[in-house]
Structure 1
Amino acid sequence: MSRFSGEDTVARKFVIAFSAMFIIPMLLSTYLFIEYVDAVRRDWLQLTLFSASVAVLGTGGFFLCRSVVQALLKATRDASAIAGGDLDRRMDTNVEGEISELARNFNRITGRLQQTIDNLQSSKTQIQTLLSQVCVSFGQNVDMSNMFEVFLRSLLTLTGLEVGAIFLLSPDGRELSLCASVGLKEELRGTVVRQGKGIVGWVATHGQLVTTSESMPWGRPDMLTPLEKSMPWAIHIPLRTSEKTRGVMSIGLAAGQREITGEDLLTVQNLATQMAVAVENAELKESMEKTYVETVSALATAVEARDKYTRGHSKRVTEFAVEIAVRMDLPEAFVRDLESAALLHDIGKIGIPDHILHNSGALPPDGLQFVLAHPMGGENILKPVGSLGRLCPIVRHHHERYDGEGYPDRLRGEEIPLAARILSVADSFDAMISDRAYKRTRTKEEAMEELARCRGAQFDPHCVDVFLSYLQENSEAGILCIS
């Protein structure tokens, strides 16, 4: 509606302008010619020539004004289309004069606007990819260094830079250790920088960004680390939040690149701030989880202290389970989780009443349900802490049997988590060689024979074989537990 109103306005102005410029002067000239020129001097030839001249000028003026108005109307329609979002539209430059120059300038503006929008869209896509990769890293069971490496790779791809390194400040604040890097030589990946030394140390101490180049090198080249010397063109940004520096991110420019755009620098600074927040949150989360684990461990110790026959049981089971996992050449992260789960595997016994826990004979009528429920009780205690959720299946299933006759879910074979199968062997062996009120203590050899007898029925055969091999190679293992 507005477009047609604009065109109508231009058309009306054209009528008024043409009338003012040609029709009114023509009529006035004709009147003066007829009224004031002497009839003697006036003849029909002169009148004809005068009329023809006025007609030619009027016609020429009409078409001249018409061409200008048509060009303006088309430019108006093109501008309206561009304003409506059609950035592929361009104004017609095949006109004369200033309108053509105006159209060319307008097209240049539109082209730059289109390029800016394309760049923003590309940046948006890259940032979404970056955030997606980082979120995936957080969702997986990976340590902070792996998450930082994903973050760093995505950042370098986003900005078109080449080399990057992230240093984190040690808990005592004395040094910065390289925790993640991309594009660095192998010999530089173990770099440690003292607080206040070199560029990285200075940035960590003062919390200020530093840029270096071949024309503007660091003032104390003798204090630079080999890593800093390998990046003559670089940006060093503090990872700072809550008035505390958590580390430093160093970004090296690509070969031949001599500067970083203001937009990319702003992106790097913003992402560095977000990374600092991530470090702070991770430290807070780790602290809270450590406190929780210490509390739960203290409770587990308290549970064992309630029964003199089970004191030290979890610690011994943990040592056995870790030995089995290491001999099976399982990943370090797996071994760490198994170690934590083994320490806490009987935490569910907190809910077992003393008259059942200390019972030396047959279980009372309500005793069996408490005993069978303790793996699930342990799971429920650990579940509220997100990072300990991965330990829950191990704790829940450490009393399953390989033949499917265990509890609480009667899983069988490889349906049982491997860590739970390992824990079952270690737990049962320690129970056999330990003094308990309801059974006699077995010797190491008797316990080993029982493990071999139940191989494939109660226990995973491979786990049993690995553990028996360890016990045979270490004559003192399994004996110190009963001393």
Structure 2
Amino acid sequence: MFRRPRTPPPTAPVTEARKPTPTPAGGDLDATRVLSELLARPSLEGILEGALAHASTLAGGDMRGYAILRRGQDKVAGVSGYPKALIGTALSGPWTSMKPRLLADGTRELYEANPAELHSTLDTCGMKDVRLTLVVPLSDRGRALGALVLDRTSAEGISPTVQEAANRWGAAVAPLIGVLEGREEWKAAARQITASVVEAVESQEFDALGHGQAVADLSLKLGRAAGLVGRDLDELWFAATMHDLGKIHGETGHAQVGANFLHGVPHMTEAQKAIRHHHERWDGQGEPDRLAGEDIPLYARILAVANTYVRLGDLERVKAQAGKSLDPRLVATLEKLPQ
């Protein structure tokens, strides 16, 4: 529906975790093949889902699982077979010792370790029916990252050989999880720093305080509705948050000045274009390059609609600009968003 001109759009991440080709329980790990499959989804959630799926295969299949990451508080960060709604839930459980464990009494310890108000969540996920739990710790260079927790509702056991294979798999995938977790932490830090810098600039003009955040929030809603995902949304967030940063040198030409802040940042090329061109107009009468229609980069068109709505605060006034200064299809998308 929405075309980004000149450069082909990045391939969207696969929606479902990719299951590796089954490996005989207790057999040798083909780590190169499996890890390459996991890298097809280079995000923490994607890696953890793939790791859980393969660990289940090693254990003979017919298992559900969830991955715990330790970030001050232990939280579910990935699932396989369990509802995605479980992700983000803070839990205590049998992984705290960071040792391999096989629990013949299933989730009894999990229920005992968590407050009663969480039990209904666990029940909804079907955890009360679990008869056997396998805990595979995840550690990298002495750092306790978390654990893969695999549950089985049948009475079928797990042999020591299979347990060892699952633990070897946990040791193989843990360094990759450690790297990605570090990237997530740096990404969060980068966002916090960016937002703080923008807020400092906005604070010079009382009416502008919070404008960048408001435009970023609405831009992400429009971006998702237009089909953007993952890294695309990350770039759009930076573009929207920083779009007025050039005003630190005055109003005139601020879009070009702001774009220069991202000069030399290879993974922010689309964000840089969005900042530079967010004052172009659909009818070609904008600045700085008088681009028109879909020659205006998609992020810039999204940013222009979000910026206009936040500035005017009136949907009818924004609709009046459809086909003039704003992309009419994105304005129509804005109309459909919950107000």
What TM-score comes out, normalization by structure 1 length?
Answer: 0.50
Residues 178 and 193 (structure 1 numbering): CA distance in 2 closer, same or farther, change over 3 Å?
same
1:156 corresponds in structure 2 to: 56
* Kept in 2: contact 1:448–1:468 (CA 8 A): no
**Partner of residue 425 from structure 1, selected from 276, 285, 305:** 305
Amino acid at match of 1:209: P
**How far apart, CA to CA, are the structure 2 residues paired with 1:275 and 1:399?**
46
Aligned: 1:232 with 2:112: no
Corresponding letter in the other structure for 2:101: V
After superposition, the Cα gap between the structure-2 partners of 1:213 and 1:317, relative to the gap in structure 1 and judged at 3 Å, is: closer
* Partner SS, residue 212 of structure 2: helix
Q: Which letter does structure 2 place at the counterpart of 1:163?
A: M
C-alpha change, 1:308 and 1:132, in structure 2 (3 Å) is: same
Larger Rg, first or second structure (1 or 2) = 1
**Higher RCO structure (Cα 8 Å, ≥6 apart):** 2
What percent identity do the matched residue pairs reach? 20
Listed one character per residue, the Cα deviations across residues 375-427 of structure 1 (whole Å, up to 9, x for unaligned) are 5314327x36x5x6774454344233324555566654345454431211232
1:253-402 equivalences under 5 Å are 258-260=157-159, 262=161, 264-306=162-204, 310-318=208-216, 320-321=218-219, 328=225, 338-350=236-248, 352=249, 357=250, 370-371=253-254, 373-380=256-263, 383=265, 391-402=271-282
Deviations 1:294-327 (A, max 9, x none): 222222223334456744432443455456568x
Q: Given the alignment of the two structures, is residue 165 of structure 1 paired with residue 65 of structure 2, yes or no?
A: yes
Deviation of the 1:239 alpha carbon: 1.9
Q: Distance in 2 between matches of 1:193 and 1:304?
A: 36
Letter of the aligned partner of 1:250 in structure 2?
V
Retained in 1: the 8 A contact 2:138–2:144? yes
Q: Cα–Cα, structure 1 residues 335 and 210, in superposed 2: closer, same or farther, change >3 Å?
A: same
Within 2, Cα distance between the matches of 1:193 and 1:307?
40
Aligned to 1:55: none
Q: Superposed, which structure 2 residues align to 1:37-186 within 5 Å?
A: 126-138=30-42, 143-157=43-57, 160-169=60-69, 171-173=71-73, 176-184=74-82
Q: Do the aligned partners of 2:301 and 2:327 also contact (CA within 8 Å) in 1? A: yes
Q: Is the 8 A contact 2:319 2:331 kept in 1?
A: yes
- Matched residue of 2:39: which SS? helix
User: Secondary structure at the residue paired with 2:66?
Assistant: strand
| Code of the aligned partner of 1:145 | E
CA RMSD of aligned residues (A): 4.5
For the Cα contact (< 8 Å) 1:130–1:155, is it kept in 2? no
Relative to 1, partners in 2 of residues 1:401 and 1:154: Cα closer, same or farther, differing over 3 Å?
Answer: farther
The equivalent position to 2:98 in structure 1, one of 179, 204, 207, is 207
Could you say which structure has the higher helix fraction? 1
**Which sections of structure 1, spanning at least 5 residues, go unmatched?**
1-118, 196-200, 359-366, 434-443, 475-483
Taking the aligned partners of 2:274 and 2:153, their CA distance within structure 1 comes to: 48
Range with bigger deviation, 310-319 or 219-228: 219-228
TM-score for the superposition, normalised by structure 2: 0.66
Asked whether the 8 Å contact 2:103–2:133 carries over to 1, the reply is yes
Across the two proteins, how many residue pairs are aligned to each other?
A: 304
Q: Unpaired segments of 5 or more residues in structure 2?
A: 1-23, 114-121
Cα pair distance change 1:411/1:162, threshold 3 Å: farther
Q: Distance in 1 between matches of 2:204 and 2:110?
A: 64
